[in-house]
Structure 1
């Protein structure tokens, strides 16, 4: 683990943000740091520990903080929840962490690191067993700004397309009953999205629906490692806030829209909103909770859609609470 917490590894992420030097000196110091990291560690270690660092810093840690905030201070959390107490872990106010919430958090973190482990296995098989070049480009040469923007655009569009196709036609289709059943019994058993649920699912549907659409564009276009880390950073921030259930977002127009689509997919029984950004849903007409009205545009979903989605989720939480009370 020394590579994860070493000065070169952390400097890759912190120097461009915290440094007060000029742009030229920042770039020079960044290149020296990156060169030191690449020359002192194997390509596989750089890829794996870089991926772990991004996932921990920009998804796991903030999501755990939000999760504990929801659990330990529900009266404060409910004020910024889009769907009130239904958006809290367990679907109701309480100040204790129960076994069900720990199970959800544990499986979410397990799936997160399972994807990283699969990535490491694929790279090991590709490089050490088959003698091929690595799936991602880990080199001393830094990617140019145009190359980074091009690759990020391709990756985001590829992820949107793959997620939509897999989510709609594999996880919500009679063509793949085993995947659909596991996805429905795990992820769709939640009353509403809350922190850490971005990676909560049965491991097999998770790898199919989350890992493949995220990793596949990067290896298809063979990203530079720094481009991949930047791509993963954006996705981690998106997942942290889109599945938080909060109405307060760093960029409400973008992340807020993604979060509302994520909420409505779960609350309305998977009737639509299969892609993370909604581009493919808009093209194929599978948008639910559409914010458009006849006369004007609104930033909020239609109240009738919210009400229809909220009430079944609320009734489900009440029924589960009553059943637990009877068992006691």
Structure 2
């Protein structure tokens, strides 16, 4: 017992001394604070520039994929060596949330407000789905809550990293190393992350926010489901506790469980952010032909079922768990139906037949090219014939001139007629 108390006391003393030493690095005057702030802002502004140059290199550099990968590895190594690793993780997380979700969602909302006549033509349900129907005060509240929830998730991630690394002196939650993970490792991590995220979100959304009566369920109905038809910002519009439980925790937990490399986390967070952006957008024109339209349609059906007082359904992101567990909304297609409909719309059988016809046409073109080469060889042989026979063949060529000045075939048309014409001239 005494040894345990001594260990705790030593730990507290060490932490107090560590914090006291860190406090000496804090600015003690306004000028020092201004200098530290300018240095930090300059560092943050310069941080994404190498990554942006890497993205622009394939467009303007004309280099190969191998050169791009080598350049990215060198750039990433330089970033890790020259910057604080916690800064890289948090700054990258904030940038992804801003550029993959928050700023595009605000842009979509501005588009819906500025040109509603154009916007309703690309909305799945037309004018009924315009955000302007909620009024200015409601829209401002949605924007404020969504922005705060997104920033809250980043701040909690920063707080956990500081707790583990600076106070508890443990390993960081995510790996930030110069070693870049292999593509196969990234792919497997993404599959694991998507499976865990989808399962956790389904469980929390169904049993905590809808099925079992609780204060969380009341908050969810009063906040997110106060919106009749979803638009992109509604994905982050909920009570902060509900948002953290249903969205932030399922997204961040897989990265912590498997201690992903920070680049894997960035890619996974980009996929999750873009999914929220498009699935809740309400637009009928989406960048995917199978997955995203079905997810968006099932999300709208979920809002309809809650608004009409029917039995709620469609609790998951993809719709696979709803299909397996029988919680798909009534009269709503499942993910299996979406795949079958897409296969019919694309008319796969006709595409196969078209590919076969294209292959046969390519074979015919090769045969025609061979005939043209044979014709050229015959012309060469005729030029080497004696004068008498050459006059007879010239008579045959006049019959086959086809009206062109130099006798050069257009689109390889005269291949067969020229051969037959010369044979007649030879007989004459």
Calculate the TM-score normalised by the size of structure 1: 0.84
Match of 2:50 among 11, 32, 39: 11
Match of 1:60 among 97, 102, 105: 102
1:279 aligns with 2:320: yes
Q: Which residue of the partner structure matches residue 220 of structure 1? A: 257
How far apart are 1:12 and its partner, in Å? 2.9
Q: Which residue of the partner structure matches residue 299 of structure 2? A: 262
1:251 aligns with 2:303: no
Distance (Å, rounded) in 1 between the aligned partners of 2:299 and 2:56: 30
1:82 aligns with 2:124: yes
Match of 2:133 among 91, 98, 101: 91
Match of 2:189 among 116, 136, 151: 151
The number of residue pairs the alignment matches comes to 292
1:208 aligns with 2:245: yes
Q: Which residue of the partner structure matches residue 91 of structure 2? A: 49
Contact 1:69/1:77 (<8 A) preserved:
yes
Match of 1:108 among 137, 140, 146: 146
Match of 1:234 among 271, 281, 290: 271
Structure 1 gap ranges (5+): 300-328
CA RMSD of aligned residues (A): 2.0
Match of 1:179 among 189, 213, 216: 216
Q: Which residue of the partner structure matches residue 191 of structure 1? A: 228
Cα distance, 1:250–1:17 mapped onto 2, change above 3 Å: farther
Residues 18-51 of structure 1 show CA distances to partners (whole Å, capped at 9, x for unaligned) of 5232112111111121112111221211110000
SS in 2 for 1:252: coil
Stretch of structure 1 that moved more, 121-130 or 14-23: 14-23
Residues 35-94 of structure 1 show CA distances to partners (whole Å, capped at 9, x for unaligned) of 1211122121111000011111111121111110111111111111112222111437xx
Cα distance, 1:10–1:262 mapped onto 2, change above 3 Å: farther
1:27 aligns with 2:65: no
Distance (Å, rounded) in 2 between the aligned partners of 1:4 and 1:59: 20
Cα distance, 1:2–1:287 mapped onto 2, change above 3 Å: farther
Cα distance, 1:14–1:181 mapped onto 2, change above 3 Å: farther
Contact 1:59/1:236 (<8 A) preserved:
yes
Higher helix fraction (1 or 2): 2
Residues 207-232 of structure 1 show CA distances to partners (whole Å, capped at 9, x for unaligned) of 11110000001111111000100011
SS in 1 for 2:210: coil
Higher normalized contact order (CA 8 Å, seq sep 6+, divided by chain length): 1
**Greater gyration radius:** 2
Q: Which residue of the partner structure matches residue 202 of structure 2? A: 164
Stretch of structure 1 that moved more, 18-27 or 108-117: 18-27
Cα distance, 1:261–1:14 mapped onto 2, change above 3 Å: farther
Match of 1:133 among 171, 186, 190: 171
Structure 2 gap ranges (5+): 1-40, 343-428
Distance (Å, rounded) in 2 between the aligned partners of 1:276 and 1:173: 17
Calculate the TM-score normalised by the size of structure 2: 0.65
